[in-house]
Amino acid sequence: MYPTVKDALKDLPIKVLAGQEALAEVVQLPSIDIVLTALVGYAGLLPTIEAIKKGKTIALANKETLVVAGALINTLLVQYNTSLYPVDSEHSAIFQCLVGEAQNPIEKIILTASGGPFRGKKTQDLLGVTKAQALKHPNWSMGAKITIDSASLMNKGLEVIEAKWLFGLQNHQIEVIVHPQSIVHSLVQFTDGSIKAQMGLPDMQLPIVYALSYPQRLKNQLPRFDFSAYPSLTFEAPDMETFRNLALAYEAMRQGGNMPCVLNAANEVAVEKFLKDEIQFLAMPDLIADCMAKVPFIAQPTYEDYVKSDQLARQLAYGG
Per residue in 266-281, pLDDT tens? 999 999 999 999 999 9
Average confidence (pLDDT) over 24-33: 89
Which tops the pLDDT comparison, 136 or 191?
191
- Domain-by-domain residue ranges, the chain? 2-315
- DSSP structure class, residue 222: P
* Residue-by-residue DSSP string for 126-182: GTT--HHHHT--SS----HHHHHHHHHTHHHHHHHHHHHHHHT--GGGEEEEE-TT-
Average pLDDT, the chain: 94
The torsion angles phi and psi of 318, rounded to 5 degrees, stand at -80, -10
For residue 139, pLDDT over 80 is answered with no
C-alpha distances (whole Å) from 94 to each of 65, 187, 204 are: 18, 6, 15
Q: What span, in angstroms and rounded, lies between the C-alpha atoms of 39 and 60? A: 9
Tell me the pLDDT tens digit for each residue of 241-260. Answer: 999 999 999 999 999 999 99
Residue 236 confidence class, pLDDT cut points 50, 70, 90: very high
pLDDT for the residue 18: 85
Burial 134-160 (b: 16+ CB within 10 A, else e): bbebebbebeebbbbbbbbbbbbbbbb
For residue 2, pLDDT over 90 is answered with no
Residue 20 confidence class, pLDDT cut points 50, 70, 90: confident
pLDDT for the residue 23: 84
Q: What span, in angstroms and rounded, lies between the C-alpha atoms of 26 and 14? A: 13
Q: What span, in angstroms and rounded, lies between the C-alpha atoms of 17 and 229? A: 47
pLDDT for the residue 320: 60
Do residues 148 and 272 lie in contact, with contact meaning Cβ atoms separated by under 8 Å?
no
Report the half-sphere exposure of 300 (CA within 13 A, side-chain side): 1
Ramachandran class of 315: left when φ > 0, alpha when ψ lies in -120 to 50, beta otherwise: alpha
106-113 β-sheet, strand order:
174-178, 106-113, 184-190, 195-199
For residue 290, pLDDT over 80 is answered with yes
Average confidence (pLDDT) over 81-108: 97
pLDDT for the residue 10: 85
Residue 25 confidence class, pLDDT cut points 50, 70, 90: confident
pLDDT for the residue 138: 72
Whole-prediction pTM value? 0.93
Do residues 52 and 73 lie in contact, with contact meaning Cβ atoms separated by under 8 Å?
yes
Sequence-distant (≥ 6) Cβ neighbours of residue 213 within 8 angstroms: none
